[in-house]
Structure 1
Amino acid sequence: MRIAGVSLFSAFARLPSLIRVSAPVPTPVSGHIKSFCAPVSSRLLHSQSAAMSLPERKPFTPDFFFRQLFDTESSTYSYLLADVGTREAVIIDPVLEQAKRDAQLVKDLGFKLKYAINTHMHADHITGSGWLRQLTGCQSVIAAASGAKADRHIEEGDRIEFGRHAIDTLATPGHTNGCMSYVINEQGCIFTGDTLLIRGCGRTDFQEGSSKSLYENVHAKIFSLPDNYRIYPAHDYKGQLESSVWEEKRYNPRLTKTIDEFIKIMENLNLPYPKKIDASLPANRECGVYDIPKE
């Protein structure tokens, strides 16, 4: 909750130190605080201020379906989104080994998969978009700048529609040239792929990587969104499901640094060569179609 015009500290500073006020617990009124209770310890006050600075989450609309899916081998999140009214659905960053699972889920829920969308050309797993196209009749989607084949190539500013809902596209290269982030403004969320992770970011030491470009795109495009927007990345390796613009602007250990400090950090990560890159990149350039299992 935000407090307009005055902080709790300044509000309490104006209360005479010897006056004790018996007042009700603070009551939220249209984003403001109606009444204060005093006295409180400075530590408690600090804790309350920190808690109240958390932006209010925007709830999903009733006709918006959201399901977060996971692949344990690559620690990849896929996202099934749908319009409950029209039953049109899309999936973001599907994984080849989970394509049958995802197709069955779409069928079970009575959805019609319209698009299988990739945030970029992945190096750590083979996309499931090619197999899902065979299983469901959907179209594959990826950025034109990725260099990968797809039924539909997109650029920044293009819209991806499913039912009455729409995804707005942001070009956020840096991890790769073709990285896109997908924003659904009505729902207050963004799917950041590998560009922005929870308390981290994608590596920039291969596949057209650019630390400078990644930093600039995150700050100019993702961090310029409202603080309460949920962030859904393509991966997490510590079990966290989501973050927010507010959190990453304050607590991301890399992207809260200056651009020069960030570039130095990225240059000294000393990460191992991706295990599946030699198989994943050739397959993903072809939309994964030549590695579809025969079964």
Structure 2
Amino acid sequence: MEPKSIPQYLFRQLFENESSTYTYLLADLATKQALIIDPVVDTVERDAKLIQQLGLKLRYAVNTHVHADHITGSGELKKKFPDCKSVISNESGAKADIYVKDGEVIQIGETGKTPVILECRATPGHTNGCMSFVSHKNKSVFTGDALLIRGCGRTDFQQGSSDKLYTSIQTKLFTLPDDYRVYPAHDYTGQLCSSILEEKTHNPRLTKSRDEFIQIMANLKLSHPKQIDKALPANLMCGIQGDD
């Protein structure tokens, strides 16, 4: 009887109801090193409890961009896990411990074994500092607010540019293999994930030409985000207010 293989990778998709935000927890089980993507301050206690229960060592709290609809949980997680570093794009304009650029990688685990590696892909348009993170090993991409399930991030405030967003999605995301799973920062219809092929085929905005896309985005008539006035100032500090 052959021995069972031991899983080396942990993945959890977590949800925050008020802002319909997905938070993602990834870990290398060989070393117990972990990272969290787009944590929300309101669910820090839940997330910290899970991390502690699983015996994980949180190394990074990663934000895909400066959020306007919730306050990041990065700062509170750093208090609970002193070795944790906050991460955001160098184009975000926000404060963080580590700034990442297009083409760089974030790694947890040991080189030469089976580390979890995320490729950083700049996907501006919703904001200047939007960053998507690709796990080639696990055929998945964490798209933040750039690409949503059958939608995309709005472009009517906070450095938004429909032209930039169209370019980002077409050149940085839709060039990934069709079977890569798409994990967005939000979903408002109860869907958990999509795929590159699905979005290339069925996304009602992104199957259109550039000019049609820009016209669609200019006429969404969306309401102002409820938490933007308190979320933006806090998130520009990336949850690490008071640090030097």
**Among 157, 163, 182, which residue is 1:206 paired with?**
157
1:213-224 mapped onto 2 (5 Å cutoff): 213-224=164-175
1:236 lines up with 2:187 in the alignment: yes
Could you tell me how far apart the structure 2 residues matched to 1:223 and 1:214 are? Answer: 12
Provide the aligned length of Structure 1 versus Structure 2.
231
SS at match of 2:137: helix
Question: In structure 1, what residue type is equivalent to 2:54?
Answer: L
Question: Higher helix share goes to which structure?
Answer: 1
Residue 85 of structure 1 is matched in structure 2 by 30
Name the CA distance, whole Å, in 2 between partners of 1:157 and 1:264.
31
SS of 1:218's equivalent in the other structure is helix
2:93 to 144, 147, 158: 147
Which residue in 1 is equivalent to 2:48? 103
Higher relative contact order (CA 8 A, sep 6+): 2
Where has structure 1 moved over 2 Å in runs of 4 or more?
288-291
What is the TM-score with the length of structure 2 in the denominator? 0.93
- Which residue of 118, 121, 133 maps to 2:66? 121
Q: What is the identity, as a one-letter code, of the residue corresponding to 1:143? A: S
Report % sequence identity: 60
CA distance in 1, matches of 2:190, 2:49: 25
User: CA offset at residue 290 of structure 1?
Assistant: 4.4
SS in 1 for 2:169: helix
CA contact (8 A) 2:148 2:186 kept: yes
1:147 counterpart SS class: coil
Deviations 1:188-236 (A, max 9, x none): 0000000000000000000000001000110111000000000000000
Per the alignment, in what secondary structure is the counterpart of residue 79 of structure 1? strand
Residue 255 in 1 paired to residue 200 in 2? no
Q: Distance in 1 between matches of 2:221 and 2:119?
A: 34
* Conservation of the 8 A alpha-carbon contact between 2:95 and 2:240: no
Query: RMSD between aligned alpha carbons?
Result: 1.1
The match for 2:221 is 270
The CA deviation at 1:288 is 2.3
Counterpart for residue 15 of structure 2: 70
- Unpaired runs of 5+ residues, structure 2, are 1-5, 110-114
Counterpart Cα distance in 1 of 2:220 and 2:37: 28
Q: Which runs of 5+ in 1 are unaligned?
A: 1-60
- Superposed, 1:112-191 pairs within 5 Å as 112-137=57-82, 138-163=84-109, 164-191=115-142
Amino acid at match of 2:235: N
SS at match of 2:106: strand
Distance 1:220 1:142 in 2: 21
Supply the AA of the counterpart residue of 1:89: A
Counterpart AA for 1:142: I
The structure with the larger Rg is: 1
Residues 96, 240 of structure 2: 8 Å contact kept: no
| Paired amino acid for 1:78 | T
CA displacement 1:40-84 (0-9 Å, x = unmatched)? xxxxxxxxxxxxxxxxxxxxx931110000000000000000001
